[in-house]
Amino acid sequence: MTMRAILAGIAISSLSVSAVPHDRDPPEPSRAQERLEREQDRAAQRAEERAARFEADRARIEERAVREPAKAAEDLQKLDADRVKEEVKAAEDAEKAEVDYEKDLADDAEDALEDAAKLAEKADSSGESEYGSSVEMRDLADGERAEHDERGYPVRRGEVFALDMPEPALAQLQRAGFKIIERVRFEALDRDMLRLAAPDGVSATAARDQLRALAPGATVDLVHYYGLDLTAGSKPHKTREKAMPSRSNNTFAVGVIDTAIAPHKALAAARIVAWSDGASAQAPAMHGTAVASLLATAGRPTIYNANIFRGPADRPYTSAEVIASALAWTLRQDVPVINMSIAGPRNAILDRLIRDAVASGRVVVAAAGNGGPTAPPSYPAAVPGVIAVTAVDKDRRVYRLAQRGRHIAVAAYGVDVVAADVRSNFARFTGTSFATPVISAWLARCRANGTTTAACGHQLKDAAKDLGAKGFDEIYGFGLVE
């Protein structure tokens, strides 16, 4: 059972009834939901009419049973047979309505993403309305001459990747002009990742569609680019603090998929194990160092650091296949908890690998995102099974740019928090990615005690102090964990 399933299962009534932000009107039902409910109402009405008609017909037949017992028995048998046929037809209609609902829901989501992109185009330069949307990310990895997918997200030009591609399909692709760039075996997940270059003149999206058609059983997607979970508000500012508090001497292990981690006095009690594939003299280190220092306040951690970012320090980026390899590396280290501060589009490969990690008993904790309260969900925070963390200030008010949604699990302090600064001693940082290590450390310490993932999930929910609307809500999740 996934951690979010554990958390959600404890308060399922809250999820279905109280998950409405306290400072907003209840959300309108989607068009798909409205259509489904209308069809269900009609089906219920038809069922009542059938039942009433059946009872009336049965009563008439039974009235003449004394006079014509043989004919009445024959009519009752026919009536029962007709009712069975009608019930079968009703069940088929209900199943079709559910299938139509799923399709309508996907269409609605597509429309919502398009609407979000349009809103982002109208947003002002403050970046507070739709940060993390495709519009804001279009120039990410611009130096790599990225293509863009259907929603405007940047992807690597002329390249796709897949999990578990059948050899016959691969041979057919090679005959069609596709070339293997890389094959990687993820032993910890029992998966094979394959990167392919499309034939000359074939776009990445066209190549993806061709692979999906040829190998429907494989997981295939574009090589999306991702940025750090950053906003203008998350840039550090000076503080007079000379040290960070250490709350315990507990030892625990946690994976950090982020930027590099630089040496710093705040990490004196921490052991850093770096992913060799992510080593780079030019790798940005500010964000990862700050996150690591926040983990170190919770004890004496061993931090397995997978640096996945490259590019300028103020706008670093990474790509989906690097994230996949980093995730596989952290799993090989057998870390129980993985902390992620990545923001970007949903990707089928990363979805699959993260779900695999969660299914194996690992906990994946991700920043909810700093795109603003009306922004669409960021990934991987919104991947089912991931613990999405939002940020609050010292007065327990939600960070004004924190994203919201039913995927939010818990909140932690992440506004104006003191953390290590690679340019000086310490600075104050703001953003959901600076709340995330609080929860990662909490869960890692729980697991270090020998407690099961399920039990830690129960304990995390119990430790959360309810904020906002009573019970679970889309702003604070189950509440604040300190």
pLDDT score, position 25? 37
Query: Looking at residue 106, what is its pLDDT?
Result: 65
Contacts of 351 (CB under 8 A, 6+ apart): 379, 380, 383
Of the candidates 4, 1, 72, 91, the residue with the CA atom closest to the CA atom of residue 385: 4
Residues 326-361 pLDDT 10s:
999 999 999 999 999 888 889 999 999 999 999 999
Mean pLDDT of 144-158: 91
Model pTM above 0.85: no
pLDDT band at 409 (very low <50, low <70, confident <90, very high): very high
What integer pLDDT is reported at residue 98 of this predicted model? 77
Q: Taking the domains of the chain in order of start, what are their residue ranges?
A: 140-224, 232-463
Please determine, for residue 170, whether its predicted confidence score (pLDDT) is greater than 70: yes
pLDDT at 283 exceeding the cut of 90 = no
Using pLDDT thresholds of 50, 70 and 90, give the confidence band for residue 259: very high
Check residues 6 and 436 and name the one with the higher pLDDT.
436
Q: Is 132's pLDDT higher than 70?
A: no
**C-alpha Rg value of the chain to the nearest Å:** 27
What pLDDT digit, counting tens, does each position of 95-115 carry?
887 777 777 666 655 555 554
pLDDT band at 91 (very low <50, low <70, confident <90, very high): confident
CATH number of 232-463: 3.40.50.200
Instruction: Name the CATH architecture for the domain at 140-224.
Output: 2-Layer Sandwich (3.30)
Per-chain mean pLDDT for the chain: 84
| Residue 296: predicted pLDDT | 96
Query: Is residue 69 predicted with pLDDT exceeding 70?
Result: yes
Active site residues: 258, 287, 433
Are 388 and 381 within 8 A, CB to CB? yes
Per-residue pLDDT, 122: 42
Q: Tell me the three state secondary structure of residue 229.
A: coil
Q: Which of 29-38, 67-76, 248-257 shows the lowest mean pLDDT across its residues?
A: 29-38
Task: Decide if 342 contacts 319 (C-beta within 8 A).
Answer: no
**d(C-alpha 61, C-alpha 382), whole Å:** 58
pLDDT for 147 beyond 80: yes
